[in-house]
Structure 1
Amino acid sequence: MVEFTEGAPCWVDAMFADVEAAKTFYGDVLGWTFGEASSEYGNYTQAYSGGKAVAAVVPPMPGADAPSQWCLYFASPDVAATAEKVASSGGEVLMGPVQVGSFGSMLIAKEPSGAVFGVWQPGDHKGFEKMGEPGAYAWAEVFTREPAKADAFLPKVFPYSAQQMDAGDDPEMAGMDFKVFSLGGPENPVLGRMKMDKDFPADLPPWIQVYFGVPNCDEAVEKAKKHGGKLHFGPMDSPFGRFAAVADQQGAAFAVIDMSTTVGEMPKFG
């Protein structure tokens, strides 16, 4: 069982008005299977890839009218202490901390520039049982118009170091403001941060883009579109893999990446 260090992405879930439609969509696009709904916890339903837990889907709470979106959780040894750090560092705790039976404790928060995230203190449920493979969580990036706020906040809440990407002479990266947050040194990157420029719709709020691994990016995009999903960006080759940003048929945004198909040299970070 994987043990997650403080600040490491450890789980992801999403609320869907139509959970059965979400299960059909992700079952085809990402190859997931689903467990039994836990009626004790709002019909929370775990998703599996190759028999290993990789995510969960859940219907909205009664009376809630929140849009469908993926929420990334970061590991914490003490969720109450993390809640205090969030508040004292300019963020906002939206829900919790709350104990979830013997599974663990959680909170939902918003960093100062507006992106929502979760924090998970594991109990019986440790988090991802599989990562960095097709069908599983691969990477995540904070998209924000106010990078200075996010950049100041994140290392105060989690033990991150940060490295800014050097665009070098690559014209495709000219003007790109991208930073990577790492745990224990730059050899262990755990989260990216991208500044949203004028190419992003003005009404698009900050968010955390979750990447899921797939064996073939183009095929995953076609499956998503077949089920009523939308292609927002790509597919595009990169040194990290061939990826595309999409949304499911209920509007939840995410990205798919084929990490086996890499093109170009890795960017430098300083």
Structure 2
Amino acid sequence: MAAQPEGTPIWADAMFTDLEAAKTFYGEVLGWTFAESSAEFGNYTQAHRNGKAVAAVVPPMPGQDAEPQSAWCLYFSSPDVTATAEKIKDSGGTVLMEPMAVADFGSMCLARDPAGIVFGIWQPGTHKGFELEGEPGAYAWAEVFTREPETSDAFLTSVFGYNAKRMTDDQVDYKVFDLGGEMPVIGRMTMTPEDFPAEVPSYIQVYFAVDDCDAAVATAEKLGGRKVFGPMGSPFGRFASIVDPQGAAFAVIDLKTTEGEMPAFV
């Protein structure tokens, strides 16, 4: 596998207080199976779809003072995690966990942009990232939801060298970012007070592909999840936003069921 360009979404994981409950939920909703937990690495547990690694779940680290809020974390590829961490600091971000090696799997750090969005950086070693993308049960897309779009836009382009294109719809402040190719790698949506309560912080929403969006939402609700938005048709696919029973937000999208014309970006 060729190395992913810096700034490409490469991996996603989430921390759950009840790991077994999380495995049951995502196993039912996304069709995941799970590898054995690695005690050496804090019971980090990879999720698979059709035998390929698609994400991971992990319990809180021992000794944490407070119960952490479950949340999905998106990791961006880097050829040099230490250099990327310095760019994050120079661009006004905060490094929450300094670069560290994870055996021979790779090296990582955790960071926060100036608008408060938490994300990860992954420099691959033997673990190259997603083994499956854009298929049911696998990563499909991600969007930065921010209350400070100008701040987040400047940060993303400074750290990763993205090109930005704005949707030509005056009703929605939405951009996509690319790395010089035709295909965008991530989107950015402005959070408005009308649509997002003040207590909801800026975040990155990870989309996982599904065969049937409506069925995935129904399964999530049956298992204690909460639908936040959708299901809704779009030119990109039929999608919905969900909060799982432990509070982690994510989205599901049926990429094959599209509706309407593709919007223009400039």
TM-score (norm 2): 0.97
Counterpart CA distance in 1 for 2:239 and 2:245 is: 19
Q: Which amino acid is the alignment partner of residue 46 of structure 1?
A: Q
Instruction: State the identity as a percent.
Output: 66
Counterpart CA distance in 2 for 1:44 and 1:2 is: 25
SS of residue paired to 2:235 = coil
Which residues of structure 2 form unaligned runs of 5+? Answer: none
Contact residue 162 and residue 181 of structure 1 kept, 8 A = yes
Counterpart CA distance in 2 for 1:253 and 1:136 is: 16
Aligned to 1:144: 146
Shift of 1:155: 1.1
Mapping of 1:91-170 within 5 angstroms? 91-167=93-169
Shift of 1:105: 0.3
Q: Which amino acid is the alignment partner of residue 178 of structure 1?
A: Y
Mapping of 1:173-192 within 5 angstroms? 174-185=170-181, 187-192=182-187
Contact residue 2 and residue 126 of structure 1 kept, 8 A = no
Counterpart CA distance in 1 for 2:57 and 2:12 is: 9
Shift of 1:2: 5.6
Aligned to 1:21: 21
Q: Which amino acid is the alignment partner of residue 69 of structure 1?
A: A
1:89 aligns with 2:85: no
Contact residue 19 and residue 57 of structure 1 kept, 8 A = yes
Which residues of structure 1 form unaligned runs of 5+? Answer: 168-173
Q: Which amino acid is the alignment partner of residue 10 of structure 1?
A: I
Aligned to 1:12: 12
Counterpart CA distance in 2 for 1:222 and 1:146 is: 33
Counterpart CA distance in 2 for 1:23 and 1:2 is: 31
- Per-residue CA deviation, residues 169-208 of structure 1 (Å, 9 max, x unaligned), is xxxxx421001000123x1200000000122111100000
SS of residue paired to 2:89 = helix
Contact residue 98 and residue 106 of structure 1 kept, 8 A = yes
Structure 1 window deviating more from structure 2 (155-164 vs 14-23): it is: 155-164
Shift of 1:159: 2.3
Aligned to 2:262: 266
Aligned to 1:242: 238
Q: Which amino acid is the alignment partner of residue 151 of structure 2?
A: K
Q: Which amino acid is the alignment partner of residue 54 of structure 2?
A: V
Aligned to 1:45: 45
SS of residue paired to 2:185 = strand
Counterpart CA distance in 1 for 2:6 and 2:171 is: 32
Aligned to 2:191: 196
Q: Which amino acid is the alignment partner of residue 243 of structure 1?
A: F
Counterpart CA distance in 1 for 2:4 and 2:17 is: 30
Aligned to 2:225: 229
Q: Which amino acid is the alignment partner of residue 262 of structure 2?
A: M
SS of residue paired to 2:151 = helix
Shift of 1:66: 1.6
